[in-house]
Every structure is written in C-alpha cells, then in structure tokens.
Amino acid sequence: MIAPVRPAPAGPEDGARRSFLARLSIAAGAVAAALVAVPSGLFLLGLRRAPRVWRTVGRLDAFEVGKTVEVSFLDPSPLPWTGVTARTAAWLRRVDDQEFIAFSVHCTHLGCPVRWLQEAELFMCPCHGGVFYEDGRVASGPPPRPLSRYPVRVRAGVVEILTSPIPIA
Ligand code: FES
C-alpha cells in the first residue's frame, strides 16, 4: 500500500512569501484601477476635452454655390493606432461666394451617418428613418434635435472646418 503524499507544513518563509505576493497583487490592482479611473474621471468631469482644430476640407473654387457635398477630415485628436477611423465627415453646402454651412454627418438620434438627397433636399438617416430638412431641422422620425453644425471659414482660398468632439454639443 502506498501512503498518500502530504504537503510539507508551511514554514515562516512560506507565510512571508504569501504575504508579499498578496501585497504585490493589491498594489498592481490599485495601479491598474488608477490607470482606468483617472482619465475616465477627468472625461466625466469635463476636465479633459479633445482640442478643437481647424481642418482644411478643400479649395474654395472646388465647391459649387448651392451644392451640398460630403467632405472628410481628421478628427480633432487622432490617436496613433486609430488608422482610417480617425477620419470623420461633414456635409458642406456653399451658400454663396464666401458663406458655407457644415452639418455633422451624425444623426442626433443614435449617431448613424445621414445621407443628403439632393432631389428631395432632405437628409435621411438609414437606421431608424430620421429625416432632416435642408437646414438641419428635424422633419420626422426619432431624432430629438437638429443636425449639429461645424463653424466654417474661408482663408486664403481654402475652406476650413472647426472640428469638434463627437457628439457635437
Ligand atoms: S440613428 Fe438616425 S434615426 Fe436613429
């Protein structure tokens, strides 16, 4: 008959090792929690905001008066690993020689990208049927607010949009 193998009784060195590992584990957990909590807390308190940056969307002569076209640009704070997702878009309308209006492509319901229908002169959201008039007001469907707008300026023959964090407040 073979006798069962029993672990050796824990000595004072085992207790010290366990205690050290427990403290190390608690410290590592505290560091990990701080790495997540500090940026989240700053964001929630509104202390950490993406910068607002003017982005070039094209030359002035590339836009026809009365037309609404989609333009794309880098978001205000692209991260090194975001790749193509760092690009966002707006619907840009040239009102006259110097005046432009830029609408966010993001529906104010749940953020789906809206499409501009030139013939109907409406923005349509494919997700839940939201419809916006040409000035961005809600025409029908679930969106609670008009389309957000970006400030636009023309400088030295170039059209620029003032980027904003999404959703635009
Ligand atoms: S996301 Fe546009 S209607 Fe719901």
Ligand 1 centre to CA of 129 (Å) is 6
- Smallest CA-to-CA distance from 126 within 109, 105, 112 is with 112
Do residues 58 and 72 touch, judged by C-beta distance below 8 A?
no
CB contact at 8 A, 166 and 148:
no
Q: How many CA atoms lie within 13 A of 75 on its CB side?
A: 19
Beta bridge partners of 71: 90
Quick one: pLDDT at residue 169? Answer: 47
Q: Which pLDDT does position 74 carry in this prediction?
A: 86
* pLDDT of 160 over the 80 cut: yes
- From 127, 132, 138, 166, give the residue whose CB has the most ligand 1 atoms within 8 Å, as the site to mutate: 127
Residues 93-124 pLDDT 10s = 999 988 999 999 999 999 999 999 999 999 99
pLDDT tens sequence across 17-68: 889 999 999 999 999 998 888 777 776 776 666 678 899 999 999 999 999 9
Gap from CA of 30 to ligand 1 centroid (Å): 40
Query: What pLDDT sits at residue 26?
Result: 93
pLDDT more than 70, % of the chain: 90
Rounded distance from Cα 114 to ligand 1 centre (Å): 8
- What atom in ligand 1 is closest to the CA of residue 111? 1
Q: Does 133 have pLDDT greater than 70?
A: yes
Confidence band, pLDDT 50/70/90 cuts, at residue 81: confident
Beta strands in the chain (DSSP E): 54-59, 68-74, 87-94, 100-104, 115-117, 122-124, 131-133, 138-140, 149-150, 152-155, 158-162
What atom in ligand 1 is closest to the CA of residue 110? 1
**Whole-number mean pLDDT of the chain?**
88
Average pLDDT over residues 152-163: 94
